[in-house]
Amino acid sequence: MTEKKYQIAVFAGDGVGSEIIAEALKILDVIADKKNIPMSLKEGDIGGSAYDRAGVPLPDETLELALQSDAVLLGAVGGPKWEGLDYSVRPERALLGLREKLGLYANLRPVVAFDELLAASPLKKDIVRGIDILILRELTGDVYFGRPRGVTREPDGRRTGVNTMIYTEEEIRRIAVAAFELARKRKKNLVSVDKANVLETTELWRDVVTEAGRRYPDVALGHMYVDNCAMQLIRKPSQFDVIVTTNLFGDILSDEAAMLTGSIGMLPSASLGDGRALYEPIHGSAPDIAGKNIANPLATILSAAMMLRHSLERPAEADLIEKAVTGVLQDGVRTKDIYSRGTKLVGTREMGDAVAAKLKTFLA
């Protein structure tokens, strides 16, 4: 039997996208070569650069390539150049389109505080030391996709905006099951975040998560209102292991949690559906620093590690990449966003080289 060749779609996108993707590919190259992982990479365009070429942020060829692949590795989309565009063709629409068309309902956003970077956090070291939180954000429902939506105008000219917060119990159950499964492999502590004191949709959320939990007696389940969760993340982040929440709440809480670690440039993500997956750093396209070789490629490199773990059935190799990243941080190598006095400032490419070199020492 011939071994399966993994099809990977690579969409660099806009801004720093191509620079950080180049470093992740460097690392995948090392792993694929030394560990004999058969993979075929195909590039596609997305976001503002796709709009410039094709008039849409998610061209059909790009979507087709994503649908045919085992995984998508994405850089970032967007930038000031496209901010004035109609909402329907804004670069961000490409992300929403991919999430919807690939059915990527489970968005994993791990928030890990590296000991070496504690000084970069705006919070006191004692509060952030050791935090290892997995935010599981539902990604294909809620106000992001609910209908009706839009802005209507009365004959007298007055406008009304509407978006719909909506979840079916099936949608809630599948993300809840994913959350319990993930919690089971971690510290078995799950907090479900809702606004059940005010919003019926999330009252249903709470009910269905609780029901799903009956099959996971080994996982401790707690519930928290989203406003309280926002506060607890700053007050005592170490209380969290896995957090599961709705699309909109997850969007907001994951940005908040990212800051605990000091730099959003460190955080990877995975968006999973049935048999499909997309991996991307959670930071944006950072147009202000694009093309200057100063962006931090670690979030993208860590996203590639998540791809090895979740889509390529190579958890040991994923661990090695994560270990290599920790190793270069221990060596004091830093990009500008995580630099502190006494460490060694390097550029995007040099950071990628350092991780690749470290990785090779583990693979020799």
Catalytic residue check, 251 = yes
- For Mg ion, the binding residues in 2-61 under the rule CB under 5 A are none
- At closest approach, how far in Å is the CB of 94 from ligand IPM? 9
Cβ neighbourhood burial of 62 (10 Å; 0-12, 13-18, 19+): buried
Q: Which does 92 bind (CB under 5 to 8 A by kind): ligand IPM, Mg ion, none?
A: ligand IPM
- For ligand IPM, the binding residues in 89-148 under the rule CB under 6 A are 92, 95-96
Of the listed 6, 105, 144, 167, which one is catalytic? 144
Catalytic residue check, 126 = no
Of the listed 227, 236, 344, 360, which one is catalytic? 227
- 11: β partners: 44, 74
Q: Which does 132 bind (CB under 5 to 8 A by kind): Mg ion, ligand IPM, none?
A: none
- For ligand IPM, the binding residues in 60-99 under the rule CB under 6 A are 92, 95-96
Contact 77, 47 (CB under 8 A): yes
- For ligand IPM, the binding residues in 13-32 under the rule CB under 6 A are none
Contact 15, 66 (CB under 8 A): no
Closer by beta carbon to ligand IPM, 71 or else 95: 95
Candidates 251, 319, 331, 353; binder of Mg ion (CB under 5 A) is 251
Closer by beta carbon to Mg ion, 132 or else 251: 251
Catalytic residue check, 6 = no
Q: Which does 95 bind (CB under 5 to 8 A by kind): ligand IPM, Mg ion, none?
A: ligand IPM
Closer by beta carbon to Mg ion, 25 or else 260: 260
- Residue 256 lies near Mg ion (rule: CB under 5 A): no
Catalytic residue check, 60 = no
Residue closest to ligand IPM, measured at CB: 92
Closer by beta carbon to ligand IPM, 145 or else 362: 145
Closer by beta carbon to Mg ion, 251 or else 319: 251
Closer by beta carbon to Mg ion, 93 or else 314: 93
Catalytic residue check, 29 = no
Q: Candidates 55-63, 69-77, 249-257, 266-274 — which segment interacts with Mg ion by CB under 5 A?
A: 249-257
Contacts of 229 (CB under 8 A, 6+ apart): 191, 193, 243, 245, 249, 253
Burial 334-347 (b: 16+ CB within 10 A, else e): bbbbbbeeebeebb
Of the listed 101, 187, 188, 251, which one is catalytic? 251
Using CB under 6 A, count the residues that bind ligand IPM. Answer: 4
- Residue 251 lies near ligand IPM (rule: CB under 6 A): yes
Q: Which stretches of the chain bind ligand IPM, using CB under 6 A?
A: 92, 95-96, 251
- Please identify every residue annotated as catalytic: 144, 195, 227, 251, 255
Binding site for Mg ion (CB under 5 A): 251
